[in-house]
Amino acid sequence: MTPSTRAPAPCSVLLAGRGARPIESHRPNGSTALEFPRIDLSPLRRRVEVSVLVRDPRHRVLLVQPAFRDDMLLPSGGVHPGESVAAAAARLLVESLHIHRPITTVRACDQAGHNFDTGAVEVLTVVVDGGVMTSAEASALSLPVGTEQLTALDWAPLDQLDRYVLPFTEQRIRAAHTAARLLVRLPWPYLGEDVEELVAA
């Protein structure tokens, strides 16, 4: 097979139309042509993350600040291979804040595509509902002693979210909070079984 007719690598994607810049290709006959590069997506570079929406009786939202960021987020983390979203959410709350919350309902999903300029991978973030803490629980909550993962914890009023989070994070939180207020539950079965049934088992 000649170079001009060589098939692309398996799972490769032509970057034309995705903001990629064409490159100048020199052909054996001495001519040049502009071609869009291909990127090998084998294995696919994407990950699934879960964020937990926890509220208090005053409708404030629990936010944390990871040590590697200047802004705040919902308690969040990656979903391990083979792990359900609900199990991942429960695990990260225990690991990062030492709290146990029932995780049964998906309130929103947010997708961030692969950034071909920075190399950032594609991320699907699933926002689950961690319920409403009592006033006493919310007041007593603090960062675990000796934690290195987080540097701050706060309860943010909805009308002040922009003081704590980035714009896209604010929209994500508002969408999930509205869904929780309206009791909108997104079906998110695991192997066809309802998450509530799996958690209750």
For 81, phi then psi, to 5°, come to -55, 130
**What confidence score (pLDDT) does residue 196 get?**
62
**What confidence score (pLDDT) does residue 26 get?**
57
**What confidence score (pLDDT) does residue 8 get?**
39
Report which secondary-structure segment, H or E, holds 77. strand 76-78
**What confidence score (pLDDT) does residue 5 get?**
43
Query: Please, what is the Cα angle at 24 between 45 and 119, to 5 degrees?
Result: 20
Could you tell me how many residues make up the chain? 201
46-200 to CATH, choices 3.30.2130.30, 3.90.1580.10, 3.40.190.170, 3.90.79.10: 3.90.79.10
**What confidence score (pLDDT) does residue 167 get?**
95
**Mean pLDDT by groups of 10 residues along the chain of 201 residues:** 42 42 59 56 72 96 94 95 91 94 90 76 92 96 91 96 95 96 87 66 44
Q: Which residue has the tokens 């989070």?
A: 165
**What confidence score (pLDDT) does residue 157 get?**
97
Contact 156, 68 (CB under 8 A): no
User: What's at 177, amino acid-wise?
Assistant: H
